[in-house]
Every structure is written in structure tokens, then in C-alpha cells.
Structure 1
Amino acid sequence: MFADNKSLPPSYSLNISVLSQLFNSTTNSYKYLFFSALLDILERNLFDCELISFRELVVEMLANAWYPHVFFKLSFGKQDQIATKLDQLNIQSKDEAITRKNILISVINQYNVDDVINSLMRYVPFRLIRPFFAEELQGIKDYSINSNVTKLSTQLFEQKKPLYCFNCENYKLIDSIILHPEWVNYIRENFLIVKGWVAWEWLNYMQKNNSNVPNLARKLFPLVQRKSLAEQAKYWKLIIEKQPIKCIYSNNILDKNSISVDHYLPWSFVAHDQLWNLIPSIHTVNSSKSNNIPSSNYLDKFINLQHQGLVISNKILSQNEWLRYVDCYLNDLKINEPNDLLKLELLTRAYQQTFKPLISLAKIQGFSTNWNYREECG
């Protein structure tokens, strides 16, 4: 098994140590934006894509950079040209909807970005995967790096297993990357952690270039319109109707008409509303808990409540409706069979394997990880 970075899950076949070095000694924003774009494109395509064009990557990079540049005038670094490229495109809108990324991508796609592609893709795709071939590239002159990385990524695609190779042998004619399927699987299986790791590296880089900017983390990413939790609340109300349930924090019996749906791992960390991370609580708990992560003392109670909900919902819902609700459990907790969700021991193991690296990463990122509820706080 390869040695791994402390924030990234290990792999028996992929070099996670090299992955963790991709952003070492980085002097501009391009690598961060490129890798984030790659992750976003994979997620949007449900990890069912191997070839990604330079154009698609550049449009995604510009969309990711537009928000912190236009709204907050953040610096991307003295040597960085991303802000200049955005200014040249002059993408303007008084409509707040443009802050939604899908709309922003549609807007950027209407522009001629050939010049930006030629500029940003001249070095970044080649230099990003350079660490995979550190041994082979020793002593190679800088002007030969692109051509050598192009050849090595193809020749050693199955031996070194770089993130990707290219769609042409002549590096000057390349316009797409071809992702290694094993890396696609790794990213899919560990998406939340990999995404969080890249966001943390990006935050550290931007902090160096914007040291006096308060609350920087909230200024790096496009505004996300929080979705209603009505469907998740409906799920828990059905369960409460069938069996009394206690709030795991306050120990109060929950009233289905006055529950608050709580993100156990805070939304500001996970940035999703998946049911496997949501439980009912009393309103005072939710306001008191804020963006903190509960003490480990609550984890067993949380898992037991999730198990209780899964068992009851399995009995009262139709099979198709139940499978729709639990699909996110299967995917994100890496549980193979739906019926395994009903086995407390298997569910506990899956939660512990999922939560341990996520909570470690949250702690590194500055989230409080030892929150306890006190009635006087509410």
C-alpha cells in the first residue's frame, strides 16, 4: 500500500503520496483551479466521463474564479493572470442569478475563450502531473517538460498511473485529457474528502495572498442557494408518527410538528443535505450547535437514531420509496446491499469509516469538533 497524506484515504494501487504533492511550491492559482474544475466536472457527470476537453476545464476554472474576483476583488497572486483573463472577458450581470454556477458556466460558454485556453493550458495540465514522473524527469530542461510529460503519461499510464494522459502525442496539438479510470473510481469513492482537501489547499494559498481579508473562506466559492429540507423533514416526521424518538442532544421527546432538521456534520463543512447526515432535533439545539461538530459522545446515539429511522421507514414505506430515500446512504457510506443498512453493526462500521477522516479534515480546517449541548446555551 502506498504511503498517503494524512488528509487523504489510502489506496492499494494508486500513489496517494504523489497526489498529496500536486500543490507543493505553487506560485499561482492555476493548479488549484484546474484540479477543482476536474472534480466539479466529474461530479456533474456522475463520474461517468474519461475525456475532458481543455475548453470545458477552462470554462469551469473561470466560473470558479469569477466569484472571488468580481465580488470581493481577491488577489490570486502577483504572478497570476486569472483576474486579467476574467477582466478581458468582461462578464457583467446585474442579475444575482449569475452567482449560481450552472448559469455562470452557460454565460461564459457564450464567450470566445480561445485565448484563455491557449494561455492557461500551455503549462498547467502538464505541470500538475509532473510529480508522477519525478524520477524520469530528473535533469530534463524546463522547455522539454511538456513534451516529456506527454510521452510519459501515455507510456507509463498503467505502470505509474498518473491522473490522466492526453489525447494527442504532439503536446502542441493536445486539447483534452484522458482520466485514468482507477483515479476516477478513487475520487468517486472519496469525493467529499478529496474535495475538502483541495478546498483546504486552495484556502491556504489564497490566505497567503489575502492575509488581511476577514472571513476569507466564505469569499472563495460561489453563493449556494440552500435547498429546502422539507423532504428530509417529511421522512423523519413519518418515523416519529410510528415511534417516539428522543433528541440525541437534549434527550427531549420530539414533537413532529416542531422538529428542526440538524446537520450532524455542519452544512458549512459538507455543503450537502444528504439524509445520512441529517437527524431531527429541537430548535434550541440547532441554534446552539451552529457550525460546530458534536463531541464523539454523541456519535453512537446518532448512528442508533439513523438505524432506528432506517428500520422503521423500511417497514412503513413501499420498497421503491424506501430505496429512493436510502440511495445516498448506500453511495456515500459505501454499503453494498440495502438490507445491510438494517444491520446496526454494519451501519456503525460504515459510519465510523466515513466520519473519522471527515472529522479529522474538519478539525484541520478549524471547525470545533467537541461541541456539547447545554440547556442554558439554548
Structure 2
Amino acid sequence: MNIFPSDQELPTQHLAACFNSTSATYKFYWLLAITDAIQSGQKEIKKEQLFASMLSNAWYTVNYFQVSFGQQDMIQHTVRQLKDIEGLNIDEDRSRIKMRLENSDNPKTRKLLFHFDNQVPHWFLSPWYTGINSRGKIYELSQDEVNQPIYRLYKDRIIISDKWFVYLTKHIRIIRDYVYWNLSLFLQVRNPNVPDIPNKLIKPASRNSLIKQRKFWDYVIDVNGPLSCIYTGKELYKGQYHVEHFVPYSFVSHDQIWNLIPADGSFNVSKSNKLPTLEHYFEPFYAMQDTAIRTYMRDKPNERLLEDYFYIGTDLSTGLSRDKFYDVINPLVTIASNNGFEFLYK
């Protein structure tokens, strides 16, 4: 079935067929890299640009959110290696990553980039050349534009045909949305217990403000006096703390109040996206949350942020059950650890 808009002159069914059988992520990221270039008006695109674009698009998903691509996926392995080789941050800006990789003169980086030349550019065209297993033959047929391939293949570049360039430009939003949707389905199968995969595919322009959540905790401090940071023991006064994700944002991908507490600002920065060890930190975390709920249920039972607790099956009319709350937090920490998040040790 052709899921892309039809065209009287182009075999668009072949583009759809590229995703009939996917055992790795490279097809998704290859087409995203091509559409990145088309959005900037390019028809002739160097391979190193495309490979750098593939890896920069996957960077945040792999290094920040630590989503698994599967044990054999080379994009995941390469992104992790390049982070160390190039000394780039896990949440680096995508355009800076792409520029660094594309222009790197580090031989290790160049070797990792061009590893993808062994398989990706020509096998992506396999729907146009069914039954042909020769890389050289696919290159030759694409250059002669047999069966109207999406691009012509050369040693150091690809060239998008004029008709395909017009088609892709016209329908680029549909095509990119389709790629992201199917990439999210592909990754969700491999990360069945990881929340919110679709929102972990791209780096958001900016994180949500936590103003409402800060006001929530300001009131708790107003009523009860300063709270003690569960990590350092430092007294936390109104306006003198950070709002901290107990289970890292990079795993849960939300700002619900049941996972947020005030914390010592300097410690919160150093904690980064590490996991709290529950044997050390769950009890004080629970106690702080319980204090907040008791305060609001007594004084402001209609506070909107209290609705966040219902998403984890908590009936606030009976208070915050310690055991039920642990049964929510413990699996999240365990799954995040299994996905590669490191623990914060006391």
C-alpha cells in the first residue's frame, strides 16, 4: 500500500516500500537527513553531510533520553562513541553537532561516519531495484535513472532528481511526520516500558517553565516553614531552591508534581540526570510529598496540580499511601537504570 501522496510521473510506491521491513533505524534517519537537506534547497548533497545529519538527529534520543535502538543498531553505537571522541555534551544543539561531525578531521570520526556508506545509500534504493544485490549495479542503474530512483548515487554524494525534488518539497511535512511516527513505533517495541517515546525523538526548543510547580512548593514552605533538602539536609526557604525531578526528566519526560520537589540548587545542578538510590532517598522524598498533600488537602483541596496525583492512581482523600507511591517510583527507577541511567550514590 502506498501511504504517500500519489504522483502520475513518479513511482511513489517505491518510497513507501523502503519501510516495509525495518530491523534498524538507518532508513528512518537517512530519509530525515535527505529531507533536512531539501528543506535548505539542496539537490546535490555530500555523503558526509547526510551521515552527520543522521547522527545529529539521533543524538538527543540516544545520549540524553537513553532510548535503546536495539543491540545491533549501528546508529546508536556510533552516536555514543562520537560523544566521547568529539567531547560533545549529551544535550548539545543539533546544528552544532552536525557541523562538528561534518567538518571533523578526526580520523576516528571520519571512519565512523563513512561506515554507513557500506550499506545505507544503495540499500535504501532496493525497492527500485528488486532482486539486485550488487552495490555497483545499483549505483550504475541509479545514475542512468532506471525506474526513476529518488536520487542518483555517486562515490561522494547523491543528487536528487528534479521531479523527486519537487515532490519531496511539496509533501515534506507528510513524509517527515510519517517517518517520525514509524520511528516512534519501531522504538516503542524495543522500549516497551519507557514513557513518551514520540517526544524523545527531537530536542524541544525549550523546556517547560516550572513557575506553577514552584508556587505549589512556595505555599508548602509558607505554611510549614523551611523544608530540608533530601540530598544535602540544607534548609530550603521560599525562593531559595531549585524545583528538582526526583526521577530524571530525561526519563519521565514530564513535569508532574508527584515527581517534583524542592532541592538545594547547587546539588541539583551536579545531580544532572542521575537516578536517586531508593534505599537512601525514597523515605525523605515520600515524606516531603506527603507534607505537601496534607497541606493542600487541608487548605486548598481544589489546587489544579493535585490532579497530577490521580494519574498515578492516588486517592488523595485518604492521603498518600507510602506503599502505593513506592510501587509507582520503584519500577520507573528500575527501568531507567536498565536503560543506562546512572545512579547517584550517597
Instruction: Determine whether 1:55 maps to 2:48.
Output: yes
**How far does residue 225 in structure 1 lie from its aligned partner after superposition?**
4.0
**How far does residue 101 in structure 1 lie from its aligned partner after superposition?**
2.1
1:179 to 147, 150, 160: 160
| Aligned 8 A contact 2:48 2:114 in 1 | no
2:152 to 145, 165, 175: 165
TM-score by length of 2: 0.55
Counterpart in the other structure of 1:22: 18
Q: Which amino acid aligns with 1:66?
A: W
Structure showing greater radius of gyration is 2
CA distance, structure 2, for counterparts of residue 95 and residue 59 of structure 1? 16
**How far does residue 79 in structure 1 lie from its aligned partner after superposition?**
1.8
Counterpart in the other structure of 2:6: 10
Counterpart in the other structure of 1:102: 95
1:12–1:127 Cα change, 3 Å: same
1:73 to 43, 56, 66: 66
CA distance, structure 2, for counterparts of residue 124 and residue 22 of structure 1? 12
CA distance, structure 1, for counterparts of residue 206 and residue 36 of structure 2? 17
Counterpart in the other structure of 2:186: 205
1:37 to 30, 33, 38: 33
| Aligned 8 A contact 1:58 1:116 in 2 | no
1:175–1:94 Cα change, 3 Å: closer
Q: Which amino acid aligns with 1:10?
A: S
Q: Which amino acid aligns with 1:210?
A: N
**How far does residue 53 in structure 1 lie from its aligned partner after superposition?**
0.9
1:53–1:72 Cα change, 3 Å: same
1:189-204 maps to which residues of 2 (within 5 A)? 189-204=170-185
Q: Deviations over 1:233-256 (max 9, x none)?
A: xxxxxxxxxxxxxxxxxxxxxxxx
CA distance, structure 1, for counterparts of residue 75 and residue 116 of structure 2? 8
CA distance, structure 2, for counterparts of residue 109 and residue 133 of structure 1? 30
Q: Which amino acid aligns with 2:101?
A: I
CA distance, structure 2, for counterparts of residue 164 and residue 30 of structure 1? 17
CA distance, structure 1, for counterparts of residue 12 and residue 118 of structure 2? 26
| Aligned 8 A contact 1:30 1:124 in 2 | yes
Size of the alignment, in residue pairs?
A: 204
CA distance, structure 2, for counterparts of residue 154 and residue 110 of structure 1? 27
CA distance, structure 2, for counterparts of residue 181 and residue 76 of structure 1? 34
- Root mean square deviation of aligned Cα: 2.3
Q: Which amino acid aligns with 2:189?
A: K
1:149–1:94 Cα change, 3 Å: closer
Greater mean deviation of Cα atoms: 208-217 or 82-91: 82-91
Q: Which amino acid aligns with 2:30?
A: F
Percent identity over paired residues: 27
| Aligned 8 A contact 2:122 2:138 in 1 | yes
**SS class of match (2:118):** coil
**How far does residue 177 in structure 1 lie from its aligned partner after superposition?**
0.7
Q: Deviations over 1:177-202 (max 9, x none)?
A: 11111111001111111111111121
CA distance, structure 1, for counterparts of residue 119 and residue 80 of structure 2? 21
CA distance, structure 1, for counterparts of residue 89 and residue 141 of structure 2? 47
CA distance, structure 1, for counterparts of residue 164 and residue 183 of structure 2? 21
Counterpart in the other structure of 2:142: 153
| Aligned 8 A contact 2:18 2:127 in 1 | yes
CA distance, structure 2, for counterparts of residue 26 and residue 175 of structure 1? 25
| Aligned 8 A contact 2:56 2:94 in 1 | yes
1:117 to 110, 113, 116: 113
**SS class of match (1:20):** helix
Instruction: Determine whether 1:131 maps to 2:103.
Output: no
Greater mean deviation of Cα atoms: 9-18 or 109-118: 109-118
**How far does residue 95 in structure 1 lie from its aligned partner after superposition?**
9.0
| Aligned 8 A contact 2:122 2:153 in 1 | no
| Aligned 8 A contact 2:45 2:158 in 1 | yes
1:125–1:102 Cα change, 3 Å: same
CA distance, structure 2, for counterparts of residue 117 and residue 104 of structure 1? 13
Instruction: Determine whether 1:214 maps to 2:195.
Output: yes
